[in-house]
Amino acid sequence: MSKIILKTPQNLESMRQGGKILANVFDKVEISTRVGMNAFALDRLIFNEITALGAKPSFLGYRGYEHSSCISKNEEVVHGIPHESKVFYPGDIVSVDIGVFYQGFHVDAARTFMLEPVDSEVMTLVNVTRESFFKGIEFAIPGNRLGDISYAIQKHVEEAGFSIVRDLYSHGVGAQLHEEPLIPNYGKRGQGVTLKEGMTFAIEPMVNIGAFDILTLQDKWTIIAADRKWSAHYENTIFIGKDGPEILTLN
């Protein structure tokens, strides 16, 4: 039996407002993600922006996590810790993952920023990762199946010659940061849960230049590509509306 929690119009309104806050935080983050900046300072800026807008950072305190964002560079896939020693250099890609809790609901989003001059294959990686999200959510329509989204993401990534990470998932989001369903970013059309109006998902493809295998560092958080080739991440929280998806975390 599925425990997917459908959101009411009132719930949706709260998530829309949280999403707007998160999109505004990302506008500041984009401006601040520059050569010479470091991840700790960026995380502090993120905390300050979220709290100034009357919201709370979803990640702070989550399973003992002590920061407001995950900041993952280059071969780091996700869940990178924002250490001061993580300095941004020319040619780096920096993925920033942020959750915002507002009026009882979480929204979750991530972007990968490029610090010029970025290698052309790496630039393609970042673009394909973002595009795969949009390819996937074209199928986020009531009556379609979860596998339709997964398949479209995987197809776009693999046609570009990259690998979709398999051991980490997109997920439902709402009163809890992680709700049902778990959404693989790869899969088969016509399989999985049938989509219904009112579902809210955090769709977050993680894409590796090399193989899809990942491993966790000794800090128990940072996940890297096992072959140390670079990786990108893109995520938005979406609402499944009557006629299709509404992206809640984009301005």
Site residues, ligand MF3 (CB under 6 A):
59, 62-63, 65, 70, 79, 97, 99, 108, 202
The binding site for Co ion (CB under 5 A) comprises 108, 202, 204
Partner in contact with 169, chosen from Co ion, ligand MF3, none, beta carbon below 5 to 8 Å by kind: none
Residue number with CB closer to Co ion (39 or 202)? 202
Partner in contact with 70, chosen from Co ion, ligand MF3, none, beta carbon below 5 to 8 Å by kind: ligand MF3
Tokens of 194: 């049938």
Cis peptide before 181 (omega within 30 of 0): yes
First-residue to last-residue Cα distance in the chain: 36
Helices and strands of the chain, counted as H and E runs: 4, 15
31 membership: H or E segment, kind and range: helix 9-32
Partner in contact with 76, chosen from Co ion, ligand MF3, none, beta carbon below 5 to 8 Å by kind: none
Residue number with CB closer to Co ion (82 or 115)? 82
Asked whether 18 and 99 are in contact (CB, 8 A), the reply is no
Partner in contact with 65, chosen from Co ion, ligand MF3, none, beta carbon below 5 to 8 Å by kind: ligand MF3
CA distance 228 to 42: 24
**Smallest separation (angstroms) from ligand MF3 to the CB of 72:** 10
Cis peptide before 117 (omega within 30 of 0): yes
Asked whether 195 and 189 are in contact (CB, 8 A), the reply is no
**Smallest separation (angstroms) from Co ion to the CB of 34:** 25
Find the residue with minimal CB distance to ligand MF3: 59
**Smallest separation (angstroms) from ligand MF3 to the CB of 174:** 13
